[in-house]
Structure 1
């Protein structure tokens, strides 16, 4: 089947090839600053003490998301990133290059939309990006299972917060995610937003960093995470974090100033 005839329902199992993704300490430090690392957090922003935040690696796999969108089955400018998984295989170096392979996994029929799962793998990490494609459902496919939500038991063990900034999406775009919904008012309006929104991966990275700060955990020791990105955060909003801990595993939520849950999930530190 030619790419021009591809439909979303045909994408499951499509191989996206591989790409060598180089990076250096400047990329690692830029990412840390873009998600809100402080100048005093020298392990994250100073080359002489630098360690790599695992969530940085998610920026390296984004080429696969764009590659999936370029197959012609849907318009990537009209999609949204609604889910993320990450599992570390080993510590990430502060510079080097990773050979990343990718494929499209499951495609789920959600009725009015489809969910496309893009998988990437390397010697350092594995990840899955879940992409929401509006108007691409009702093709008779399986709906998929609802994400299991860990139950918060009692009051949260971690309470934190961070303030986003108006310029943060413009800065975070420099890490590689140049989806127009984060910078172009027209693109944001076309997707039903009043103005450009924060990158979900930026809010996720900031949330993981805040949980590590408040719990006294090394943020570079993140081992695994699963997150559902359920609502937008607008630049300038304050984000509140609640997390429940069990043996270095956390169930967490991140909510905007209006109390709307923007993302939730689980994470563990090594």
Structure 2
């Protein structure tokens, strides 16, 4: 069972990470870039002379690992799913050097017995040499098996409102059947995404794609459609994970332009089900 004060003060380790262009290429490939070798617009994301990091890459930088799996957290880790993710990009992600990730739990909401709990956390990614911020990440984790520990019922982060009408832009990007196996090499080793037995125990028919891999696919769509692949124009994205994606499915990002950015959501084409909702993008 969750001990609220213990979890709020949990000593998530600070992570120092040496970044190489190969790490950047692996991340970009693991979220689906490079599937069309003739698409020259994607070449800077796969080819070392021009190597560029996708704006969503901070989600795997300074990552402290699946620390919620530790027994002393009190969390039923098998039933944990990613609920929401925000990314604020302070500067383009470097392709080499040393970075530091500092993570902390910022809030816990008890939704009641049988209704789970929400765990809010953030991570600041900084350049180790200069101390300059690269990105700020805010996450909501849905601990489906941990409601009823006697904690507070709020405040709950309100979602961005859903847009009305038909989208102005749609972008279909395919995932690969083995994409979760590639993506986990970025450091997210939750067996839910590769072990069929763990997936079954968690209530899924087969391993699911990492939520943050879906995040990267949607980031690619926003970068392509709104920024013409110019990372200096990319400022912030926020979204809610509505349903899991199975590797091999096609993710369709639907976009509504707004002043200063756009609203968006995403669905799986094959099942016509919304997998990302309440999305907001802002230009730098």
| Cα distance in 2, alignment partners of residues 231 and 8 from structure 1 | 27
| TM-aligned CA deviation for residue 55 of structure 1 | 0.8
Among 232, 245, 262, the alignment partner of 2:244 is 232
| Cα distance in 2, alignment partners of residues 78 and 29 from structure 1 | 31
CA 1:263–1:61: 2 relative to 1, 3 Å: farther
Partner of 1:266: 280
The within-5 A match list for 1:103-252 is: 103-111=104-112, 112-122=115-125, 123-138=133-148, 139-145=150-156, 147-218=158-229, 220-221=231-232, 222-252=234-264
Partner of 2:129: none
Instruction: Identify unmatched segments of 5+ residues in structure 1.
Output: none
| TM-score of the aligned structures, taking structure 1 as reference length | 0.90
Confirm or deny: 8 A CA contact 1:13 1:106 kept in the other structure. Answer: no
Q: 1:217-262: CA deviations, max 9, x gaps?
A: 3352321111111210111212221111113412111111222111
| TM-score of the aligned structures, taking structure 2 as reference length | 0.86
Confirm or deny: 8 A CA contact 2:57 2:93 kept in the other structure. Answer: no
Confirm or deny: 8 A CA contact 2:66 2:189 kept in the other structure. Answer: no
Instruction: Identify unmatched segments of 5+ residues in structure 2.
Output: 126-132
**Is 47-56 or 214-223 further displaced after alignment?**
214-223
| Cα distance in 2, alignment partners of residues 45 and 206 from structure 1 | 15
| Cα distance in 1, alignment partners of residues 230 and 32 from structure 2 | 13
| TM-aligned CA deviation for residue 147 of structure 1 | 2.7
| TM-aligned CA deviation for residue 167 of structure 1 | 0.6
**CA RMSD in angstroms, aligned pairs only:** 2.0
| Cα distance in 1, alignment partners of residues 193 and 187 from structure 2 | 12
The within-5 A match list for 1:80-119 is: 80-111=81-112, 112-119=115-122
Q: 1:76-134: CA deviations, max 9, x gaps?
A: 34311111111122221111111221211100112221111121113211112221112
